[in-house]
Structure 1
Amino acid sequence: MFTCRNQSCGADWKLSDVNIHNEGQGLLFRCPMCGARNYVTRRRTKDGETTYAQVTEFPPNGKR
């Protein structure tokens, strides 16, 4: 489950609801409701499955 980090939005999304891609600043998804950038990390499990986890350490605007 992913949560939009835009304070005025905060919508929850499943992986199947979002499109994860790289816009040149790392992996992210844009909130389908408000368009805010939400950063994610990609991990590969021992059995080869790809999983994603939302990055929460960065401020909502994506500045590092």
Structure 2
Amino acid sequence: MFTCRNQSCGAAWELSDVVIKNEGQGLLFRCPMCGARNYVTRHQTKEGETTYEQVTEIPPYGKR
């Protein structure tokens, strides 16, 4: 479950509801409701499955 970090939105989304892509600033999804950027990280499970986790703190500028 992902949550839009835009303070005025806060909508909750499943992975199937969002499109994760790299717009040149790292992996993110745009909130389908308000268009805000929400950053994620990609992980590989031992079984080889790709999972995503939402970044709750934006790292300092230039450090991803």
Same fold by TM (over 0.5)? yes
C-alpha separation between the residues in 2 aligned to 1:58 and 1:21?
17
Q: CA deviation at 1:25?
A: 0.3
RMSD, matched Cα: 1.3
After superposition, what is the alpha-carbon deviation per residue over 1:19-56, rounded to whole angstroms, capped at 9, x for unaligned? 00000000000000000000000000000000000000
Deviates more, 1:5-14 or 1:50-59: 50-59
Question: How much identity, in percent, do the aligned residues show?
Answer: 82
Which contiguous aligned blocks of 4+ residues in structure 1 show a shift greater than 6 angstroms?
A: none
User: When the two structures are aligned, how many residues end up with a matched partner?
Assistant: 61
Q: Which structure has more RCO (C-alpha within 8 Å, separation ≥ 6)? A: 1
**Does residue 1:8 correspond to 2:27, yes or no?**
no
TM-score by length of 1: 0.91
Match of 2:31 in 1: 31
